[in-house]
Amino acid sequence: MDHQWNLNQYITYILLTLVFLSSWTDINGMYAELPQVILTQPESWKLGANLALITNFGNISPLILVLIKCLYRKHTLNPVPINYIVILIGMLSCFLLIFLWSYTTVIANVRRSTALLTLALFLSLLDCTSSVSFADYIHRFRKEFTSAFFLGESLTFTIPSLLAIAQGNGRIRCVQAINGTNTTEAIYEPPRFSVSIYFLCLFILLTISFISFVLFTMDIYCSKCKSNRTGRIIGNNEYN
């Protein structure tokens, strides 16, 4: 940077960081909450492996975006509506997790965490897409704002992890068994707040990201912070 920033530039940087906070907050938050979730779900400790398998299916979404770009080489795919879809569906999924995270159904005579795994699949598709669409979106801004993209993504696990620590999940104490044998039993202490409240906090984080993105599309603060690069969006609408 060869010039001093003004207030609008600082606000733009902060809001960009908040926008990119929505990229992986939800999925990372689910992993951070696993020590508490497994206590009530039928898969128990196998839930982590199931969740990892489900979320890896999300890697197909960047491939789809690449194929679309190859089909429309003469045009630039507009990342704004894609980002709206990513954030809004992420918000909806976290909102549903507040009420449905513990919902289970019987599939092939085995009880499974249907709602949790299904919503995890949607979130993984969205989060993998966000890594591509947010990278396209940051190109609209001058190069000194690029670090906001990496700062926002770096916070997507830090903040959910701090929430899980504040919740106190996974705390165990050992007590002497009452059957007279020289053994101990592991007792999981109750968390400071419930799993539903945890997912509510994630929903609030995504809502903040959505509001920040709306402010950008309204061009309230960032009009002077964008780069001078131009492009053509599919649908014959120019951007910047």
Q: How much is the mean pLDDT over the chain?
A: 84
Bigger pLDDT: 176 or 108? 108
What are 179-216's pLDDT values in tens digits?
666 677 777 778 889 999 999 999 999 999 999 999 88
At 177 the pLDDT is: 67
The arithmetic mean of pLDDT across residues 79-91, rounded, is: 91
Q: What is the pTM of this model?
A: 0.83
Q: Using the predicted structure, report yes or no on whether residue 55 has a pLDDT greater than 80.
A: yes
The arithmetic mean of pLDDT across residues 22-39, rounded, is: 92
What are 169-178's pLDDT values in tens digits?
666 777 776 6
Query: What is the percentage of the chain residues whose pLDDT exceeds 70?
Result: 85
Q: Using the predicted structure, report yes or no on whether residue 233 has a pLDDT greater than 70.
A: no
Q: Using the predicted structure, report yes or no on whether residue 128 has a pLDDT greater than 60.
A: yes
Structural domains in the chain, CATH included, are: 23-239 (1.20.1250)
Q: Rounded distance, CA 153 to CA 181, Å? A: 51
Q: Using the predicted structure, report yes or no on whether residue 219 has a pLDDT greater than 80.
A: no
